[in-house]
């Protein structure tokens, strides 16, 4: 008899607590919740291969182009393993970069130099450095683990034809070139639409825009194009993606630094 009395009282109290909690969810908690949801939404692709054409454009409009093939291996409980193999420019053909991302810990990174047949471990401390002369820093292209940032939900707003969450995130890993980033992420499918990057002096540095999203395996969304503009230098970099293959048959052995010399 007594027990049911307690239950009767407990139910509304807990209900009030729950509602209160939801109402009291801080912008930080909401931002993190969205980041976790977005991460979950994209999980389970296991492996991915894709081809990328990277076009660098300077303020004078001069262009140079790189052709890169990428292979990604999803690692549960740790950052992904990524392999990038260069096809062009011809003088760096077969050069490869292998990265084991590790969330907050420094990544492991190896560079393969085909002319010397040398596999060289490189320092991944260079997160804010430009990737092959482009406007993309190493940290922009690396695996985006949830724990790499802290978050703050800002607002919801329309983003093109979609409705977006707008979230600010702050790098928690060392040696980032940014104080913060503001991201627009679509509420329905958690597709990243736009990211603004703010440099260490908190001045707006770059804007990255994603476009041409397509659905693969009836579930995973991938953009056809990523466009980065540097507001401070006027330089631009476009990544055109093609030939996405997810859950594809690639060997885990290809992500062994000792296998780099035979990979093409």
Residues that bind other proteins (CB under 8 A): 56, 58, 64-65, 88-93, 106, 108, 116-121, 123, 125-126, 128-130, 132-134, 137, 175, 177, 233, 249, 253, 256-259, 262-264
Smallest distance, other proteins to C-beta of residue 6, A = 54
Going along the chain, which residue ranges are E strands? 47-57, 63-73, 81-88, 96-100, 108-113, 118-122, 149-159, 162-171, 178-186, 192-199, 204-211, 214-216, 220-222, 225-230, 236-246
- The separation between CA 3 and the C-alpha centre of its own chain, rounded to angstroms, equals 51
Angstrom CA distances, 143 to 35, 104, 176, 229, stand at: 14, 11, 14, 21
Give the C-alpha separation, 34 to 26, whole Å: 12
Angstrom CA distances, 32 to 24, 25, 169, 170, stand at: 15, 11, 9, 11
> CB-wise, 112 or 244, nearer to other proteins?
112
> CB-wise, 71 or 169, nearer to other proteins?
71
Smallest distance, other proteins to C-beta of residue 235, A = 9
> CB-wise, 128 or 150, nearer to other proteins?
128
Smallest distance, other proteins to C-beta of residue 121, A = 5
> CB-wise, 30 or 102, nearer to other proteins?
102
Smallest distance, other proteins to C-beta of residue 240, A = 16
Smallest distance, other proteins to C-beta of residue 80, A = 16
Cis bond upstream, residue 22 (ω within 30): no
């Amino acid at each position: 008899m007594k027990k049911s009395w307690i239950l009767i009282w407990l139910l509304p109290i807990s209900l009030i607590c729950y509602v209160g909690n939801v109402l009291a969810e801080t912008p930080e908690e909401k931002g993190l919740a969205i980041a976790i949801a977005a991460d979950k939404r994209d999980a389970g692709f296991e492996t991915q291969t894709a081809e990328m054409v990277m076009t660098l454009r300077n303020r004078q409009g001069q262009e140079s182009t790189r052709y890169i093939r990428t292979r990604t291996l999803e690692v549960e409980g740790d950052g992904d393993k990524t392999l990038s193999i260069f096809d062009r420019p011809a003088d760096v053909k077969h050069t490869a970069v292998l990265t084991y991302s590790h969330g907050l810990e420094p990544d492991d990174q190896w560079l393969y130099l085909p002319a010397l047949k040398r596999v060289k471990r490189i320092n991944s401390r260079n997160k804010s450095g430009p990737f092959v002369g482009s406007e993309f820093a190493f940290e922009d292209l690396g695996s985006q683990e949830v724990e790499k940032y802290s978050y703050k939900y800002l607002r919801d707003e329309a983003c093109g034809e979609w409705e977006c969450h707008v979230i600010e995130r702050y790098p928690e890993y060392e040696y980032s070139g940014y104080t913060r980033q503001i991201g627009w992420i679509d509420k329905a499918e958690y597709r990243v639409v736009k990211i603004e990057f703010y440099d260490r002096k908190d001045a707006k540095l770059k804007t990255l825009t994603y476009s041409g999203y397509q659905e693969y395996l009836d579930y995973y969304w991938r953009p056809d194009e990523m466009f980065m503009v540097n507001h401070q230098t006027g330089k631009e970099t476009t990544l055109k993606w093609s030939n996405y293959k997810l859950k594809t048959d690639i060997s885990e052995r290809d992500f062994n630094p000792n296998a780099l010399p035979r990979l093409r």
